[in-house]
Chain A
Amino acid sequence: MIHPIPSGTRDVLPQETGEVRAITDTLRTAFDRHGYGEIYTPALEYESVLARADMAEAQPAYRVFDESGAVLALRSDMTAPIARVVATRYASSEPPLRFCYFAHCYRGVRPQRGQLRELLQAGIELIGSPAPEGTAEALTVLCRSLDAVGLKDYRVGMGDASLFPALMASLQVREPVRLGLLQALARRDFVELGRLLHDAGLAGDAAELLIDVPQRRGGAELLADAPDPAVEAVTGMRRVYELLDADVAARVIFDFGLVRNIGYYTGAVFEVYDPALGAPIGGGGRYDELLGRFGRSLPAVGFALDVDQLHQALAGEERGTGLALAGSADGAPGAVR
């Protein structure tokens, strides 16, 4: 007999549940050790409340009406609900506040490789701790947690959401052109980026910078010769980097073109990669303006891991096969420099 379930959802049976539970238990212990208290929030929220966060591409995709006709939405991440909790239940608490969560979120993605519409996220939010200290703490918790679950070859890509906009502003890119450039960059379509620059009449050094800078990725040597307009963002990255312990710093690769597809990020952004998986395992960043939209203006930073992707990466590392990436010798931290 076949009783279908919605595309992009799935049943998890005991063997897998056991393995996933082992991962989440380990993460929970690691988050707890760093002082992050676990919270639950409702999967359903008022749409108008979630809409206060600028989710851009991760907009809530599923809506229902309650008996009084109010529009409810299934949460698409945990950052917006936690911002709501902080603005209401912790309205007068002394920051910093530390929360962690293990929660299903719902997105309108087209189900394909590893992309589920109902995804299990594990993450933290650190509220009221500004850059660089807060960012460094979030990165440290991220790496210590991944170490604890036994992921070996992961790397954390770090960029800054303000870098490319600052570059465009200083090079006098006209306002209507900027959105197109940002969208091309978000897809890393460098051919399109070049074409748009050409069409916009940008040439010479300006165009060269706009195409070259977001392609810069690598180790700390990248921070040394940043072009003038990027100095502020790059200085921010260096300050964070200098606060990191050696083992965490060794995991970081800088990526000047890193753009997350969620609108609320303001400063440092990061993504987690593992050679055993062709797609990021998770990511996060600073969202210093989000809390203000809910009525309590506090700087904040957080990350979320996709537990199923993490599980797959662990399984891939275990098999030792994985992908084209895994066969190479540069899996060890420090090799990609």
Chain B
Amino acid sequence: MSATHGLTIAVPRGALFDGTVDLLAALGLDTDELRENDRKLLFEDIGVITMRPSDVPTYVEAGAADLGVTGKDVLLEQAAQRPGEGGRDVYELLDLGFGRCTMVMASKDGPDPAVERLRRLGVMRVATKYPRIAARHLEETGRQGEIVEVKGSVELAPLTGMVDAIVDLTATGTTLRENNLVVREEIVVCTARLIANPVAHKLKAAQIDALLEQLRGLVAASAS
């Protein structure tokens, strides 16, 4: 039996990749090829598939992977956060602790244009790659907002005057500072999470629990 107990794990490429692969390596998985070959997607012999982080819940929900690692930001955006809400149906098993970022609302330095706009017009315009998180945050804080979804650099939107504020993920705040933006509100702290397919969680309970136990130990050790 391999180090992953015969389970298939969806591993995110990008910012969370190194942290995830380090964990897998600590479990005793041979991750050399995974690290070296960034074009290959399917590593059948070690039970790993790689994809962009926002696709991880999709593959896990469908059962194409039993487990997956992705950011809480992705889960907040895609998974149902309240009963009755539609969304990716996956189980969130463990906070892996790494990949720590903050979802923030930011606007141009100086007097906050969003506050000004809200006072005069009652509505603020917000650009974001996370429309559901942004809409939920505005709703929960009792403000009317118009959400402008962008795919590329969100920082551009307030600089051109298209919007009053942005909702985005930041690790160090460097990009925001370089674009003359300041954090106005911290919405939520996001870390990497281990998620599971609901059916796999039942039918492969023993394997998943064994892996979970090892991961808990590793996460606790790195936290202390």
Contacts and interface: CB of A to CB of B under 8 A. Distances in A.
Interface of A: 56-57, 109-110, 112-113, 155, 157, 183, 186-192, 194, 215, 217-218, 253, 255, 261, 271, 273-275, 277-280, 322-325, 328-330, 336-337
29 contacts: A57-B84, A109-B86, A113-B62, A183-B83, A187-B80, A187-B91, A189-B91, A190-B94, A191-B92, A191-B94, A191-B95, A192-B92, A194-B95, A218-B205, A253-B202, A273-B199, A277-B63, A278-B64, A278-B197, A279-B61, A279-B63, A280-B199, A323-B62, A324-B63, A324-B200, A325-B197, A329-B6, A330-B203, A337-B206
B193 A56 contact: no
Given A110-B86, A261-B83, A324 B202 contact: no
Interface of B: 6-8, 61-66, 79-80, 82-84, 86-87, 89, 91-95, 193, 196-206, 209
A245 to B, nearest CB: 22
B209 A215 contact: yes
Contacts of B205: 217-218, 253, 336
A324 to B, nearest CB: 4
Contacts of A186: 83
Contacts of B83: 56-57, 183, 186-187, 261
B202 A190 contact: no
Contact of A336 (B65, B92, B204): B204
A190 B63 contact: no
B60 to A, nearest CB: 8
A309 B204 CA distance: 20
Contacts of B94: 190-191
Question: Quick one: which of A253, A322, A336 has the most chain B CB within 10 A?
Answer: A336
A279 B198 contact: yes
A191 B193 contact: yes
Given A57-B84, A324-B63, A324-B66, A190 B92 contact: yes
Contacts of A155: 202-203
A250 to B, nearest CB: 14
A253 B203 CA distance: 8
B63 A278 contact: yes
B202 A157 contact: yes
A325 B209 contact: no
Nearest to B63: A278
A191 B63 CA distance: 21
Question: Quick one: which of A188, A192, A322 has the most chain B CB within 10 A?
Answer: A188
A189 B92 contact: yes
A183 B85 CA distance: 12
A329 B1 CA distance: 12
A218 B84 CA distance: 28
Contact of B203 (A188, A191, A279, A325): A325
A155 B203 CA distance: 8
Contacts of B79: 187
B63 A325 contact: yes
A268 B8 CA distance: 31
Contacts of B7: 324
Given A191-B94, A336-B205, A324 B64 contact: yes
A324 B93 contact: no
B199 A325 contact: yes
B65 A324 contact: yes
A297 to B, nearest CB: 28
Contacts of B82: 183
Given A278-B63, A324-B200, A188 B92 contact: yes
Given A188-B198, A324-B8, A273 B62 contact: no
Contacts of A336: 202-206
B55 to A, nearest CB: 14
The 7 closest A-B pairs by CB, nearest first: A278-B63, A110-B86, A323-B63, A188-B91, A324-B8, A217-B205, A189-B92
Given A190-B92, A191-B193, A325 B202 contact: no
A325 B93 contact: no
